[in-house]
Homo-oligomer: A and B are copies of this chain.
Amino acid sequence: MKLMIRKDQLNDAIQQVSKASSARPAIPILGGIKFDVDHQGVTLTASDTDISIQSFIPVENGEFVVARIDKPGSVVLPAKFFVEIVKKLPSDELEIEVKDNHQTMIRSGSTDIQMIGLDPEEFPVLPTIEEKDTISVPGDLLKMMIRQTVFATSTSEQTPILTGTLWNLVEGQLKFVATDRHRLASRTANVETEADYRFSNVVIAGKTLNELSRLIPDDNSHVNIFVADNQVLFKIGHVLFYSRILDGTYPDTSKIIPQQFKTELVLNTKKLTDSIDRAYLMSREEKTNIVRLMTQEDGTIEVSSSSAELGRVTEQLEVKEMNGEPLRIAFNSKYVLDALKVIDSEFLFIGFNGAMSPIIFKPTDHSHSLHLILPYRTTG
């Protein structure tokens, strides 16, 4: 294997795939980036056991030559060092040459690097996914859907299935659900796909979705998604992102979402967020993050929290609409803030069924998002 390649393009591709290389690999090969060079271009691959990322650098990029291939071949180079050295090389291009025993020479300006490469035959083989049925989602929308749900996944490995987000596709509607048993976030969107294509119980780790999100560029490009038995493939331009599907059956959450409410509020999202944020600062001192919400006789609501050591915060808030019974309720303000921060609507609806029942938060601008939070069962 021997080639000349532009530093910037190689660096971009390395940054994309390196997220899938293990920082502390169980075996050295998993801490590497695989290079596959042919006359079309250079394919970089990195893989831990959960995710694999592949990026292709074509030899020509429309107007200019990106790489000149002298000899096709493959090698695996240790990712951590390689990722850092490439961006610091003195010249705009570099030469990579693999000699006997995977020994690799990298030359750039007056810098000579000799790297101990690893055998590409030992590198994990990527899953084969039949590219039959697909769904196509605008990158921006997919990032938004991830951001609006992933925070509600569980961080506890006790119930591994809850560390993921549940994906379902029915009648062209893609739905994400995440819950850690204390709160739930869901988001739906209509996506481009064959009318009869459907899947259910596809659960993808929250950590993986955050990595995926970072790979999606801020333009209008679409992401193509292919779902297989235990793997999902995301195609983002020249980048392929493979993720394992979590084992197990996701719990049925549809029954816990109330459809009717004893008390209903419509409020300004930003004003409520700011109020709860101030109350949160005080509640945080008590570790419990308990904030109380109380309807007032004058048609406003009071948000409050207190700490034995610090004192008390009391907020008076106007509401746009209030219907139903008077209410006193307590909740974990951190959970409520997490939900409020991703509600993309000037006003929001909150529905209650008394102090002991789940609270529902929904935007008023659209019906694609829903957040459920269990209240604290406090006395008094």
Q: Which residues of B contact A85 (CB under 8 A)?
A: 278, 281-282, 313
Q: Which residues of B contact A310 (CB under 8 A)?
A: 78, 81, 115-116
Q: Which residues of B contact A89 (CB under 8 A)?
A: 278
| Interface residues, chain A, with chain B CB atoms under 8 Å away | 78, 81, 84-85, 88-90, 103-104, 110-116, 274-275, 277-278, 281-282, 285, 309-317
- Evaluate contact between A278 and B315: CB separation under 8 angstroms: no
Q: For the complex, give the distance between the alpha carbons of A42 and B97 in Å.
A: 69
- Evaluate contact between A81 and B277: CB separation under 8 angstroms: no
- Evaluate contact between B88 and A277: CB separation under 8 angstroms: yes
- Evaluate contact between B112 and A313: CB separation under 8 angstroms: yes
- Closest chain B residue, CB of each to CB of A315: B111
Q: For the complex, give the distance between the alpha carbons of A103 and B282 in Å.
A: 16
Q: Which residues of B contact A315 (CB under 8 A)?
A: 110-112
Which of B78, B113, B116 lies in contact with A313, CB distance below 8 A?
B113
Q: Which residues of B contact A275 (CB under 8 A)?
A: 111
Max count, chain B CB within 10 A of own CB: residue among A78, A113, A275, A277: A113
The 9 closest A-B pairs by CB, nearest first: A110-B316, A115-B311, A112-B314, A114-B311, A114-B312, A116-B311, A113-B313, A84-B281, A81-B310
- Closest chain B residue, CB of each to CB of A28: B309
Q: For the complex, give the distance between the alpha carbons of A114 and B314 in Å.
A: 8
**Sampled A-B contacts (27; CB under 8 Å):** A78-B309, A78-B310, A81-B281, A81-B282, A85-B282, A85-B313, A88-B277, A88-B278, A88-B281, A89-B278, A90-B274, A103-B311, A110-B315, A110-B317, A111-B313, A111-B315, A112-B313, A112-B314, A112-B315, A112-B316, A113-B311, A113-B312, A114-B311, A114-B313, A116-B309, A116-B310, A116-B311
- Closest chain B residue, CB of each to CB of A308: B116
- Evaluate contact between A111 and B314: CB separation under 8 angstroms: yes
**Min CB–CB distance A87 → chain B (angstroms):** 10
Taking the full assembly, how many copies of this chain does it contain? 2
Q: For the complex, give the distance between the alpha carbons of A113 and B304 in Å.
A: 10
Q: For the complex, give the distance between the alpha carbons of A285 and B372 in Å.
A: 48
- Evaluate contact between A88 and B274: CB separation under 8 angstroms: yes
Q: For the complex, give the distance between the alpha carbons of A85 and B116 in Å.
A: 54
Q: For the complex, give the distance between the alpha carbons of A315 and B109 in Å.
A: 9
Q: For the complex, give the distance between the alpha carbons of A89 and B278 in Å.
A: 8
Q: For the complex, give the distance between the alpha carbons of A84 and B278 in Å.
A: 9
Q: For the complex, give the distance between the alpha carbons of A104 and B310 in Å.
A: 10
Q: Which residues of B contact A313 (CB under 8 A)?
A: 85, 111-114
Q: Which residues of B contact A274 (CB under 8 A)?
A: 88, 90
Q: Which residues of B contact A311 (CB under 8 A)?
A: 103-104, 113-116
Q: For the complex, give the distance between the alpha carbons of A120 and B309 in Å.
A: 17
Q: Which residues of B contact A309 (CB under 8 A)?
A: 78, 116
- Closest chain B residue, CB of each to CB of A278: B88
Q: For the complex, give the distance between the alpha carbons of A115 and B309 in Å.
A: 9
- Evaluate contact between A81 and B112: CB separation under 8 angstroms: no
Q: Which residues of B contact A281 (CB under 8 A)?
A: 81, 84-85, 88
**Min CB–CB distance A212 → chain B (angstroms):** 29
**Min CB–CB distance A111 → chain B (angstroms):** 5
Q: Which residues of B contact A114 (CB under 8 A)?
A: 311-314
Q: For the complex, give the distance between the alpha carbons of A281 and B89 in Å.
A: 12
- Closest chain B residue, CB of each to CB of A316: B110
Other than the known A110-B315, A113-B282, what 19 A-B pairs have Cβ atoms closer than 8 Å? A78-B309, A78-B310, A84-B281, A85-B281, A88-B277, A88-B281, A90-B274, A111-B275, A111-B278, A112-B313, A112-B314, A112-B315, A113-B278, A113-B314, A114-B311, A114-B314, A115-B311, A116-B310, A116-B311
